[in-house]
Amino acid sequence: MKVALVGATGLVGTRMLQVLEERHFPVDELIPVASEKSIGRKVSFGGREWTVVSADDAIAAKPQLALFSAGGETSHQLAPRFAEVGCRVVDNSSFWRMDPTKKLVVPEINGDVLTADDFIIANPNCSTIQMVLALAPVHKALGIKRIVVSTYQSVTGTGYKAISQMNTERAIAEKERPEGDLLAPATALGHWGEYPAAYPYPIDQNILPHIDSFLENGYTKEEMKMVNETRKILRDESIAVTATTVRVPVQGGHSESINVETCKPFTLEQIRSLMASMPGVVVQDDPAQNVYPMPIYAWGKDEVFVGRIRRDFSIETGFNFWCVSDNLRKGAATNAVQIAQLMLEKGLL
Q: How large is the greatest C-alpha to C-alpha distance in the chain, in angstroms? A: 65
**How many whole angstroms from its chain centre is CA 111?**
17
* CA-CA-CA-CA dihedral for 326, 336, 203, 249, to nearest 10: 0
User: Which is it for strands 29-33 and 42-45: parallel, antiparallel or unpaired?
Assistant: unpaired
Q: With H, G, I as helix, E, B as strand and everything else as coil, classify residue 31.
A: strand
Residue 56 CB-density burial (10 A; 0-12 exposed, 13-18 middle, 19+ buried): exposed
Task: Determine which one of 87, 139, 254, 323 is catalytic.
Answer: 254
> How crowded is the C-beta side of 290, counted as CA atoms within 13 Å?
0
d(CA 94, CA 209): 20
CA distances from 52 to 21, 83, 189, 213 (A): 18, 20, 38, 31
Handedness of CA 341, 346, 347, 349 (dihedral sign): negative
User: Which of 67, 27, 32 lies closest to 49, judged by CA?
Assistant: 32
The yes-or-no answer on residue 126 being catalytic is: yes
* Phi, psi of 94, rounded to the nearest 5 degrees: -90, -5
Task: Determine which one of 87, 126, 139, 323 is catalytic.
Answer: 126
Q: With H, G, I as helix, E, B as strand and everything else as coil, classify residue 16.
A: helix
Helices and strands (H and E) in the chain: how many: 10, 14
| Catalytic positions, written as ranges | 126, 254
